[in-house]
Structure 1
Amino acid sequence: MCGGIAGKPPRQAHGKSCRNVQKFGQLDDLQVFFMLDRDGYRPNVGIILINGKNEVFWGKRVREHSWQFPQGGIKPGESPEAAMYRELLEEVGLLPQHVKIVGRTRDWLRYEVPSNWVRREWRGSYKGQKQIWFLLRLTGRDCDVCLRASSHPEFDGWRWNDYWAPVDAVIEFKRDVYIRALTELSRFLKGLENYDSFLQRMRQSARPAPVAEGLPDKQQDH
Structure 2
Amino acid sequence: MSASQTPDDHPLHRPNVGVVLFHPDGRVWLGKRHRQPPPHNWQFPQGGVDDGEDLLDAARRELAEETGVTSADYLGRTEGWMVYDFPADFAGSKKARGFKGQKQVWFAFRFTGEESEIDLEAHGEVEFDAWRWARLDETPELIVPFKRAVYDQVVAAFRGFAHGG
Short-chain TM bin: 0.7 to 0.9
Secondary structure of 1:187's match? helix
Alignment partners' CA distance in 2, 1:52 and 1:121: 34
Q: How many residues get paired?
A: 155
1:73 counterpart residue number: 48
Alignment of 1:14-163 (within 5 A): 39-65=11-37, 66-95=41-70, 98-119=71-92, 122=95, 125-163=98-136
Comparing 134-143 with 121-130, greater Cα deviation is found at 121-130
Structure 1 residue runs of 5 or longer lacking an equivalent are 1-35, 192-222
Structure 2 residue runs of 5 or longer lacking an equivalent are 1-7
How far does the alpha carbon of each residue in 1:12-55 deviate from its partner, in whole angstroms, 9 at most, with x for none?
xxxxxxxxxxxxxxxxxxxxxxxx97530000000001101111
Kindly indicate whether the alpha-carbon contact (under 8 Å) linking 2:33 and 2:129 is maintained by their aligned counterparts in 1: yes
Matched to 1:112, the amino acid is: D
Kindly indicate whether the alpha-carbon contact (under 8 Å) linking 2:74 and 2:109 is maintained by their aligned counterparts in 1: yes
Taking only the aligned residue pairs, the percentage that are identical comes to: 38
Q: Could you tell me how far 1:109 is from its partner in structure 2?
A: 0.6
Question: In 2 relative to 1, CA 120–72 (structure 1 residues): closer, same or farther, beyond 3 Å?
Answer: closer
Would you identify which runs of 4 or more consecutive aligned residues in structure 1 move more than 3 Å? Answer: 36-39, 118-125, 187-191
What TM-score do the two structures reach when normalised by structure 1?
0.64
2:140 is the counterpart of 1:167: yes
Alignment partners' CA distance in 2, 1:62 and 1:78: 26
Q: Could you tell me how far 1:115 is from its partner in structure 2?
A: 2.3
Secondary structure of 2:89's match? helix
Larger strand fraction of residues = 2
